[in-house]
Chains A and B, each alone.
Chain A
Amino acid sequence: MAAGDDLKLLGAWPSPFVVRVKLALSFKGLSFENVEEDLGNKSELLVSSNPVHKKVPVLLHNGKPICESMVIVQYIDEAFTGTGPSLLSSDPHERAIARFWAAYVDDKLVTSWVQSFRGKTEEDKSEGTKQMFAALQTLEGALRECSKGEGYFGGESVGLVDVSLGGLLSWLNATEEMSGTKIFDPVKTPLLAAWAERFSELDGAKLALPDKDRMVEFIQKRQAQAAAAAAASQK
């Protein structure tokens, strides 16, 4: 990294969107200062750096803020082209395919998984779960197409889509443990199941992914808080 390249990440350890940025920084071999935000009491720096959404992650590069996880990931790839591997192919069509699937992860997988957790009714939640598994089936096909027989969406090495989906891994693994239902089912989605294991073993992933047990504890606490809030509002 060039001298005078100051990287600061405003984040929250459980957030899959923050994990994406950490993954990209790790894979590129970039060092950064990690600033843990209390999302219940956001710092002045966070609010002034992301006035539009007031959300994490925010990457500050020499004091200049970049917001939105996939915008940040592409920024890291483009601002540090000489450092570490590229997260995107140089071929325009392959780049378009990667951007398409990275957007799909957000539009379909994240949305449906959030609904399965936070749906207002049991019906809402089970619809979310159904759509989540449909999205995973589609991503199985995407992996087959993109990997071209290699191990990652990026081919031989990790790329944009691996980072986009990889950010969700700890949440998805924790959900698996809590529900008792396999999310990356080796029977239904064998390529994805193998990818999840392979990805988690990468040095860069080990640095960035939150520990599964810590994740389970966090989700359980959040659910208990939500249940208590719902009960209190019914009194």
Chain B
Amino acid sequence: MAGGEEAGKLQLLGAWMSPFVIRVKVALQIKGLSYEYIEEDLQRKSDLLLRSNPVHKKVPVLIHDGRPVCESLVVLEYVDEAWPKTGPPLLPADPYDRATARFWATYVNNTFFQSWRALFRSTTAEQRAEAFKNVVPQVETLERAFKECSKGKDFFGGDEVGIVDLALGSFLVWIRVVDELAGTNLLDGEKFPGLAAWAERFLAVDAVAEVMPEAGKIMEHYKWFLAKLAAPAGSS
């Protein structure tokens, strides 16, 4: 955990492989906030997690001075607003730019992720081909979004990593792992040069490199997950 800023008591309930948790870890790293990280076993959720997020019972949950904040994008905005003078802002200052950032963060969560999830959950070659075909149009849209948001700079957030970078970037290692297993190449550098270059830059950011799990570990976890999915009734 990064040392530094006195933040009041901060705890993060998470699971190491979750992109949604990775978003928050990177944000806290960028802000230089120290916190206690609690790894949850999602098969056996702690009382603290169930009490802190009774509605969804999911990670991440950020607990600040005993008060929980849930839903990763809500947590990111909270971190930006609770520590306005600490580290670079995660959202722009201008209301129109903020609306644009929120639009694309929502798109990543509701449109892109729902679509990519089908690829992630595919257990046969036919399912993979169909799912891949369905997610490509969204990557095309995100390529255009990158051009629009970055305005020639390095990130969706401009010079610095912002909420849209965190929303999409948190999936990058997972995207590569699924690609490796499926034999696909979603962020193809020839088709999507903007996104492909952005992905390399994002993964090289210190705060990201310090937090992002290794592809090998994600692959191991992914194979376990797929085996469970393909198993007969009894697992969920």
Known contacts: A52-B141, A93-B64, A93-B69. The answer to whether A74 contacts B99 by CB under 8 A is yes
Known: A68-B103, A74-B99, A75-B99. A103 touches B74 (CB 8 A): yes
Indicate which residue in A72, A99, A103 contacts B99 across the interface (CB closer than 8 Å).
Answer: A72
Q: When A103-B71, A103-B74, A138-B55 are in contact, do A95 and B99 touch as well, CB less than 8 Å?
A: no
How many A-B Cβ pairs are below 8 Å? 56
- Does A2 interact with chain B (Cβ within 8 Å)? no
Q: A214 at the A/B interface (Cβ < 8 Å)?
A: no
| Contact present for B81 and A100 (CB under 8 Å) | no
A32 touches B (CB below 8 Å):
no
Decide if A96 touches B74 in the complex (CB within 8 Å): yes
A93-B67, A96-B69, A103-B71 given; A71·B99 CB < 8 A: yes
- Contacting residues, chain A, for B75 (C-beta < 8 A): 96
Question: B55 and A95: CB pair below 8 A?
Answer: no
Question: CB distance B98 to A100 under 8 Å?
Answer: no
| Distance in Å: Cβ of B195 to nearest Cβ of chain A | 16
- Chain B residues 52-78 with CB under 8 Å of chain A are 55, 64, 67, 69-71, 74-75, 77-78
Q: Which residues from B are CB-within-8-Å of A75?
A: 95-96, 98-99
> What sequence of 0s and 1s flags, for each residue 35-63 of chain A, a beta carbon within 8 Å of any chain B beta carbon?
00000000000000000100000000100
The residues in A between 74 and 112 inclusive whose CB is less than 8 angstroms from any CB of B are 74-75, 78-79, 92-93, 95-97, 99-100, 103-104
Chain B residues closer than 8 Å to A138, beta-carbon distance: 55
Q: Which residue of A lies closest to B62 (CB)?
A: A96
| Residues of chain B lying within 8 A (CB to CB) of residue A97 | 69
Most central of A93, A96, A103 by chain B CB within 10 Å? A96
| Whole-angstrom CA separation of A106 from B71 in the bound complex | 13
Q: Is B82 an interface residue (CB 8 A)?
A: yes
- Closest residue of chain A to B104, judged by CB? A52
Task: Across the A-B interface, give the 5 residue pairs with the lowest CB-CB distance, nearest first.
Answer: A92-B81, A78-B95, A79-B95, A75-B99, A92-B82
A-B contact pairs, 28 of them (CB 8 A): A61-B96, A66-B96, A67-B103, A71-B102, A74-B99, A74-B102, A75-B96, A75-B98, A75-B99, A78-B95, A78-B99, A92-B78, A92-B81, A93-B64, A93-B67, A95-B77, A95-B81, A96-B74, A96-B78, A99-B71, A99-B74, A99-B77, A100-B69, A100-B70, A100-B74, A103-B71, A104-B55, A138-B55
**Chain A residues within CB distance 8 Å of chain B:** 52, 61, 64, 66-68, 71-72, 74-75, 78-79, 92-93, 95-97, 99-100, 103-104, 138
